[in-house]
Structure 1
């Protein structure tokens, strides 16, 4: 098959990745190529090691800033300009278009196209996305897919149709299994925002008198300044955004990974990545979806109290790296991509019969 994957014309697929969606797009596209398919991805750029072709829509050489009719800064005007180029792009040669974008204009244009599509729902429902996706599904031949059971259940009544679940995955072979470090530091990784709740990890580490390494980009400067920075010291260390190899190396010195998000993570790829490294995971049920939970290696508590993580942490530290790795193998990208191919084949065949 020839497949077009839509990230967005100003979305970078270079490491370090901005989030789990970019990881999914990259790994899925590469796996599709390995399975013999031709794959193009609409994105700003990607690392040269990737197997797929990047389709770039360039910025205008003219200023896109508007201070009168519809006021907008230059960067936003350029984003609008790039996104609307999708409407001029010829998609007639593709069998399926796979949408993974959060850009409204992409779906306004996509609704005009005849090529069948798959829409992966990477985020919980919020009003803007509900309206955007309902509009798209009403006007386009598109099949919605949730990345976890709870995402599918949340979206199904809002979209008024069945939402199949295809669990996200990782390329397990890209993550080196590390030896056990029972006395190592605690590890936390994610965007630095209120809903990711790194402060719970800080509280827990201080209570246990155990070092903590915090990894991730600062999305909310005020939150970082007020809730993280004052507590940094020799024991509580902030490390900036890292690539996958660097994160793999950090896992080697850790005793456990903490998942403390207070919002419902759609999937939580970093949890599977840490398990693939042999690192057990402990966290809140909002941070660890049901499919990712295991009573020995990925323990979730029905609480947002850091105190409730103390006992599960002791349990998790008794697990072996091999047990963690074996559980992570359930979420291999080969399985994820095979499930999407079955959907691609099904919708392409259905359209051909019309």
Structure 2
């Protein structure tokens, strides 16, 4: 099958990944290729060249105050290229509205995986256009499907995200510190994780890009104690290595997260997770792999962490295997074949 994959073009689809969307797109494209399919990935020009990248802009316009104008032209160029070349299906992973609007008149199925909550332009485009016969939508969790349901005129397909289990083998062999990783922004709740760790008297190791410097300087830096460690923005292999001594991976998000790949990556490594009952979190764990805080406060989070600490790594890993990259990719391919 010949698949046109549209990425969110603002950031490279390459390690170290800026966030879950970049990681998802990269791993799924690699799996499409491994399964024998031909892909073209429309993405930032600095993305992984192994993914057959077709990029229209590099960094030259991305810091421009009027980048949105250039971004619109970029997506128009992408869609024109797809029209002029023979693809079987479009898998849209961007958060831009133009692939949705264009998809109404496209001659091939356009499948969009929804990665972000209903936001102004994307929500508007989907509300108006989603009744079109060749527009199709995939949602990564049941909770997120409920969020998008009012705006989808023809329903959606549920396909859970997955991770490369070979890239995240079971490694946990000690219980020395709590672990947190992700984009360092208020919504991800790193400050809450630090407060919980301090109340428990357990060190916290954390990693990720500082996407909100004000939040980092005002809320994170003052909280860091001698035993806490900021590891920086790491490659996935380095993140995995730090799982060896993690007692629990803490998830303290302040928003309704559509999925949460970090939870599966931790569990695949044998590290149980503890977190707030927000977004898809409860869908991703069971009693053998993690614990959910009943309330959205530190006391409840600590109780969940305490419940998760003694969980057996082999059982944690076993549960994570339900969310494999191969299973996810095959479900997408089966869906594409059904549409064709």
Q: Same fold (TM over 0.5)?
A: yes
Contact 1:195/1:263, CA 8 A, preserved across alignment:
yes
Q: Alpha-carbon deviations, 1:305-351, whole Å to 9, x = none?
A: 11112233222121121111111100001111111111101111xxx
| Equivalent position of 2:149 in the other structure | 156
Contact 2:172/2:271, CA 8 A, preserved across alignment:
no
| Equivalent position of 1:320 in the other structure | 312
Note the C-alpha offset of 1:301.
1.8
Equivalents in 2 of 1:237, 1:296: separation in Å? 28
Q: Alpha-carbon deviations, 1:263-318, whole Å to 9, x = none?
A: 11111101000011111101101165232121132211232111112233222121
Note the C-alpha offset of 1:201.
0.7
Q: Aligned with 2:170: secondary structure?
A: coil
Structure 2, unpaired ranges of 5+: none
Note the C-alpha offset of 1:138.
4.2
Contact 2:180/2:206, CA 8 A, preserved across alignment:
yes
- Give the alignment partner of residue 292 of structure 1, picking from 259, 266, 284: 284
Number of equivalenced pairs: 338
Q: Alpha-carbon deviations, 1:34-64, whole Å to 9, x = none?
A: 222111110113334x4x3111113698x89
1:35/1:294 Cα in 2 relative to 1: closer, same or farther (>3 Å)?
A: same
Equivalents in 2 of 1:110, 1:122: separation in Å? 18
Taking only aligned residues, the RMSD between alpha carbons, in angstroms, comes to 2.2
| Equivalent position of 1:127 in the other structure | 120
Which has the greater radius of gyration?
1
Structure 1, unpaired ranges of 5+: 66-71, 349-354
| Equivalent position of 1:137 in the other structure | 130
| Equivalent position of 1:39 in the other structure | 39
Equivalents in 2 of 1:26, 1:173: separation in Å? 15
1:264 aligns with 2:256: yes
| Equivalent position of 1:330 in the other structure | 322
Note the C-alpha offset of 1:13.
0.7
Q: Alpha-carbon deviations, 1:50-102, whole Å to 9, x = none?
A: 4x3111113698x899xxxxxx7264444333222124314341110011101
Equivalents in 2 of 1:303, 1:170: separation in Å? 29
Contact 1:148/1:266, CA 8 A, preserved across alignment:
yes
- Give the alignment partner of residue 118 of structure 1, picking from 111, 115, 119: 111
Equivalents in 1 of 2:111, 2:72: separation in Å? 23
| Equivalent position of 2:14 in the other structure | 14
TM-score, normalization by structure 1:
0.88
Q: Aligned with 1:113: secondary structure?
A: coil
Equivalents in 2 of 1:12, 1:194: separation in Å? 23
Equivalents in 2 of 1:195, 1:231: separation in Å? 17
TM-score, normalization by structure 2:
0.92
Q: Aligned with 2:265: secondary structure?
A: helix
Equivalents in 2 of 1:58, 1:139: separation in Å? 30
Deviates more, 1:21-30 or 1:269-278: 21-30
Equivalents in 2 of 1:168, 1:286: separation in Å? 17
- Give the alignment partner of residue 82 of structure 1, picking from 74, 82, 100: 74
| Equivalent position of 1:23 in the other structure | 23
Equivalents in 2 of 1:147, 1:95: separation in Å? 23
Contact 1:86/1:109, CA 8 A, preserved across alignment:
no
Contact 1:110/1:140, CA 8 A, preserved across alignment:
no
